[in-house]
Amino acid sequence: MTKRKILATALAACTLMSMVAGCGSSASTASTAASTAAPAAEESTAASAAETASEAAPAAADGETMVLTLANSHNAEHITSQACQRFADSVNEATNGRITIECHFAAELGDERSTIEQCQFGGLDFTRVSSGAAAEFAPLMNALQMPYEYNSVDHLFEVLDGEIGQEVFETFKDNGLVGITYLHPGSRNFFNSVKEIHTPEDMAGMKIRVSESDLMLTLMDSLGASGVGLPFNDTYSSIQTGVVDGAENNMTSYIEMSFYEVAPYWTYDGHSYMPDMILASQATMDKLSEEDQKIIYECAAEAEAWHRDAWEESEAKNAKIAEEKGCTLTTLTDEELQAFKDAVAPMYDSFLDDEQKAIVERVQALG
């Protein structure tokens, strides 16, 4: 059995065990003043709607064909989009064509928050989103995306593949959603159109595009910059027209979305590994037989195993392209990096509630 198959099997097994045995706790979604949780009334409405949809739609009978839909804000060529397509193709093959998953790219079906909301109410079956957007629907996710939280990508996946990652996934069910698999997010770094960045002081007064989440806006405040919450697909034009001075993302997105053309200054600060993920509508999963649910999880795990290897290759390739394009790539010294860590340290106390802090402590213990 290949390493990739072993990893895929392990990922699927952990997810399936969490479904049957209730892996982890039923984590509370109470928020602090800075939490991104939706109002209680909206959560109640979403959960009620998902429950009603589930009750109204019995599991699909054996042999019944289904056409499901997956949304993704990335363009079709993006490495994460390729993983989504592999997932869809594998499900179709494993079910002998009974289940077809149609993938829609480039935010064709809406931005990330919109597609999550559509999944909540059963209007959409699957969506690929970032943890920044997802945390609004499962606040415990904030404990997995704090700045400078992970020592390495291996540390990240030890967390996501283990009990902690599955416990956080379980909390999506409170809002009519199901966590299917995490996806390699890449290390997120700053890039801008103005100058090299070596210290937080260099960012003072800069307007930086971030995902529309309290976490990222707070991060920018902590570093002395101004965070501007904008949809991902507006990033290029916003930098080009001066609405913002820069943004933050991984190297693959930096090259594939041509951000280097308008923001040639890149700083390797690795402030965040914000896991991507595929979420499903609870109503959709409830329509599937137990066997078909198993197929969904196994095919997603196989796609993720492929994606991890492909992502590492993509990051290395695109870093070389950035050099060839003449971008200024700045690697921070240990002292410079520590200044960034010190600037955001208060976020761990002020931004997280007690439950989230307990998760972070477990994450750090694994590092």
Arithmetic mean of pLDDT over the chain? 86
Say which range, 89-93, 210-214, 337-341, has the weakest mean pLDDT: 210-214
Mean pLDDT over 20-41 rounds to: 38
pLDDT more than 90, % of the chain: 74
- The model's confidence at residue 51, banded by pLDDT at 50, 70 and 90, is very low
The 10 Å Cβ neighbour count of residue 36 is 21
pTM for the predicted model, two decimal places? 0.75
In terms of DSSP H, where are the helices of the chain? 3-21, 40-56, 79-94, 112-120, 131-134, 153-160, 163-170, 214-222, 235-240, 251-256, 282-287, 290-324, 334-344, 347-350, 354-366
Mean pLDDT over 179-206 rounds to: 96
- The model's confidence at residue 232, banded by pLDDT at 50, 70 and 90, is confident
